[in-house]
Structure 1
Amino acid sequence: MRALSVVLNPLLFLLLFGYYPSVTVKPKEGWQVYSSAQDTEGRCICTVVAPEQNLCSRDAKEGQLRQLLEKVQNMSQSIEVLNLRTQRDFQYIMRMEGQFKELRSKFRQIETNKKTQVNRNFQELKGKMDALQPLIPVLEQYKTDAQLISQFKQEIRNLSMVLTAIQEEIGTYDYEELQQRVLNLESRLRNCMSKLTCGKLMKITGPVTVKTSGTRFGAWMTDPQASPRNNRVWYMDSYTNNKIVKEYKSIADFVSGAESRTYNLPFKWAGTDHVVYNGSLYYNKVQSNIVVCYRFETGRVVTQRALENAGFHNVYPYTWGGFSDIDLMADELGLWAVYATNQNAGNIVISQLNPDTLQVLGTWNTEYSKRNAGESFMICGTLYITNSHLTGAKVYYAYSTKTSSYEYTDIPFHNQFFHMSMLDYNARDRALYGWNNGHQVLFNVTLFHIIKTEDDS
């Protein structure tokens, strides 16, 4: 871990599992999330949040210097305002000092000729003299303050010159070497993740809020089958009466709202449980149990097929409703559909689908009621079900298609915005994508893995 941090510091943050709080992330410079895993002894390997390669053009130290320079400039402006005000008051005091000297001279003249002056005038002048007497130390203090402010101004000028010189010097540095280090680390991390076999869910941490947009319900996703350099994001707002899919070239573009393309689907969708897999969008056609495969490259429907006996149109939705009867998802083992049937008494049915033909490759009947589930997601052929879509939710039930068995679990996750309407696992990023009450969020997952060695391959 130390070697990694040396390579990335200060452009990368190494976040250990469970050690970062729920924060709002504004990756204006295209930050990507790379998750990780555990070894056989439960030790954390690493989790990296890294900038995209073409955006590694600024150093964190330069940003710190820029912020410091701005603070100095702001301080300089404040001192200038204070200086002007002090100088104005100082001029007023100086005029009073002249009046005081003149009055004191007159008072001495009067005092030497008391007998020729009216006693009333003498007392009046003496009263003015007494009133001016306390201003003498104030006058001296103003003189001292004026000198101090003058020193402040000079020190600020000197500091600004030094900081500006440092900033200009940093601006001349060559970032290509640092960029290559980042790319090398990314390659090593991808290679490490490729050696991880399927694991069991142990912990969910986060969330990290990537963006706040859209209605309370929707879906956003990336393609787990895409190449490491392909970081396109797809965005589908609302759970019904919509067929517009927005595409973004990267997380950075998604955050800034820079759309690269818009797709007008031939059919409206139902629910929020869509998935992008190997360049195609899989979704539930509105008011039907038909699954549609839409190819982004051609802009056409490749195939569509009905899920036999699957309930639809709010017959067997998740607890939040929203026509979430059919949940399409993908994991390390392929494409899946999660739904419920009358034949299984409204309990969840898991079917593995052929991505090209949508034919059912295998089906498993669980004993968990679809209507009692908050959301669900697949990891390594195991379906994990949350007990609620509201606050206090946790992963409560897990069904393994490998062993055709289930177990009750107790894995809490932070439902920060109190209404989860989409929660899907991305095998490439090893992270959960969520739509949390109009917030697009990411959760980190901790899996217990067995790491393959060269001898095992």
Structure 2
Amino acid sequence: MLLLLSFLSLFCFAVFSQSQGQASLSRSNDPNGRCVYSFTVVSPQESSCPGGNAKSEMDEVLTRLTLLEALVSRLTAREERGTAFGGVRHSEENLHEAYAQVTRERNQLQQDQKRLNAQVQKLQGTVAELNREAERLRQRPCEQTHTSGGTRHENRPLRDPVFHFENTSYQEMKAKVKELPASRLLPEGIQRASSPKLSSNISSGCGELLSVGEPVLHRKADAITGKYGVWLQDPDPQGPYYTNKTVWRIDSIGREIRQLFVYEDMDQFSKGFPMKVLVLPEPVESTGATVYRGSLYYQRRRSRTLLRYNLTSESLASRLDLPHAGFHGQHPYSWGGYTDIDLAADEQGLWVIYSTGKAKGAIVISQLDPASLEVRRSWETKIRKNSVGNAFMVCGRLYTVASYTTPNTTINYMFDTATSEGQAVAVPFVNKYRYNSMVDYNHAQRKLYAWDNFHMVTYDVRLGWAGKGRS
């Protein structure tokens, strides 16, 4: 500061020295009352200041100051806005992230809604189809003839009714092909006897099963309801209306199986002309029914109840709950089909093949009273029911078929109720159509009746004693 003042003093002194005659010093008071000293030096170049005065200079300075203040204000405001914009930018990023999350959740909800709507539409379509099918069945007239006064009034022959089920999975087929070696079917210590034992109470002509012939085709079902079922002839018919030539058939696919088709003989059966259609009072479960001495014996659907339906009077004659019997998929044959209870008839009477919780799935055989269905006696075997494809009775002996689907399988086990002993056997058996759901024995015809994948077939059998070959 002192250096600046010194410089000014020297400058003023120099100017004053150069123009002594032209400089003047004046003193006056400013508007605030303070004393102000002023040096006046005459310009050697200009005689006057054109258009210039102190006021205009002051105005110019004020204008510059105003512009400077405006500039400073603008810069200050810009800095403040920059700080504020940083916070806004951060808030905008948070908002974008939240919006993206909401959008993803909305899209997921829309996809779930579409999927649920599709499922609802599918279920509605299924319900509508079932309602239409039920309505068609209700409106269908009963195709049967009536008997009165001991005389049968016959209409012209009827074709088998055909039902077109779009959904064929009315019964679960929990099937798994499983053939076991004969040695695994027997308990330890049981071996095949070197000479068979003859029962004292078996009928004339009985003996061991020596061989089974090739299947003979009699009829092929022409609708999906005929994939599996029951077909039989009565080995010992009773009454004036039906004979041992009469053929009985039940298609066992459906929810309420009640129709029993009656054919005059095998020829009419092969042509598909039933002479009568009976409507059973209770629905049938699976393929375990049999016909014996003028009655149809069958298991009531979804129960362990056995029913005897008199074919002459067309009415229920007796019923019985089979004690402790498994039913509806607890102990079926290996092909499934709710074949827990299987009724059979042979030279010695009426039988039922089943299992219980106590037997833990092993086959139990009970002989029944044909009139009352009371259990006369029972036997427990050592072979599991779900390990075999089917079973039947011949001369008081149980025989099991190893597989229901293998084309060349065997009858692999026999249990004799006369001796209460079981043993492995190996009698060849053919499943020609590879889905054998029913095998029953007719002792009058000396044949096996079977239902093999829409095909109704019979097998000739040969009985006798090992080494003697009596048939």
Superposition TM-score, scaled by structure 1 size: 0.55
- 1:208 aligned partner, one-letter code: V
8 Å Cα contact 1:245/1:263 also seen in 2: yes
What's the secondary structure of 1:428's corresponding residue? coil
The reply on whether 1:314 has 2:329 as its aligned counterpart is yes
Distance 1:239 1:317 in 2: 16
Alpha-carbon distance, 1:230 to partner = 3.5
8 Å Cα contact 1:239/1:322 also seen in 2: no
Distance 1:354 1:198 in 2: 21
Picking from 437, 458, 467, the partner of 1:421 is 437
The reply on whether 1:432 has 2:443 as its aligned counterpart is no
The reply on whether 1:279 has 2:287 as its aligned counterpart is no
Relative CO higher for 1 or 2, CA cutoff 8 Å, sep ≥ 6? Answer: 1
8 Å Cα contact 2:252/2:285 also seen in 1: no
8 Å Cα contact 2:237/2:244 also seen in 1: yes
Picking from 408, 411, 420, the partner of 2:427 is 411
8 Å Cα contact 2:308/2:319 also seen in 1: yes
- Aligned partner of 1:154 in structure 2 is none
- Aligned partner of 1:104 in structure 2 is none
Alpha-carbon distance, 1:226 to partner = 2.5
The reply on whether 1:234 has 2:248 as its aligned counterpart is yes
- 2:275 aligned partner, one-letter code: S
5 Å-filtered alignment, 1:35-434, equals: 196-213=204-221, 214=223, 215-226=226-237, 230-241=244-255, 242-391=257-406, 392-434=408-450
8 Å Cα contact 1:240/1:271 also seen in 2: no
Q: Percent identity?
A: 36
- Aligned partner of 2:462 in structure 1 is 446
Mark the CA change 1:195 to 1:342 in structure 2 (over 3 Å): closer, same or farther.
closer
Distance 2:204 2:380 in 1: 29
| Post-superposition CA distance 1:61-87 (Å, at most 9, x none) | xxxxxxxxxxxxxxxxxxxxxxxxxxx
Distance 2:359 2:341 in 1: 15
Stretches of structure 1 that go unaligned for 5 or more consecutive residues are 1-193, 453-457
- 1:429 aligned partner, one-letter code: Q
- Aligned partner of 2:182 in structure 1 is none
Alpha-carbon distance, 1:393 to partner = 2.2
Structure number having the greater helix percentage:
1
Following TM superposition, where does structure 1 have runs of at least 4 consecutive aligned residues deviating by more than 6 angstroms? none
Distance 1:266 1:333 in 2: 29
Distance 2:445 2:254 in 1: 28
- 2:409 aligned partner, one-letter code: A
Superposition TM-score, scaled by structure 2 size: 0.53
What's the secondary structure of 1:406's corresponding residue? strand
Alpha-carbon distance, 1:195 to partner = 8.9
8 Å Cα contact 2:233/2:244 also seen in 1: no
What's the secondary structure of 2:215's corresponding residue? strand
8 Å Cα contact 1:336/1:353 also seen in 2: yes
Stretches of structure 2 that go unaligned for 5 or more consecutive residues are 1-201
What's the secondary structure of 1:224's corresponding residue? coil
- 2:227 aligned partner, one-letter code: R
Alpha-carbon distance, 1:239 to partner = 4.4
8 Å Cα contact 1:385/1:395 also seen in 2: yes
8 Å Cα contact 1:239/1:270 also seen in 2: no
| Post-superposition CA distance 1:199-237 (Å, at most 9, x none) | 100101110001101521101000011389641000101
Distance 2:254 2:390 in 1: 18
What's the secondary structure of 1:259's corresponding residue? coil
Distance 2:205 2:211 in 1: 17
Q: Report the aligned-residue RMSD.
A: 2.0
- 1:216 aligned partner, one-letter code: K
Alpha-carbon distance, 1:400 to partner = 0.3
| Post-superposition CA distance 1:306-336 (Å, at most 9, x none) | 1101000011000111110000000000000
8 Å Cα contact 2:234/2:243 also seen in 1: no
Mark the CA change 1:195 to 1:398 in structure 2 (over 3 Å): closer, same or farther.
closer
What's the secondary structure of 2:269's corresponding residue? helix
Distance 2:332 2:254 in 1: 13
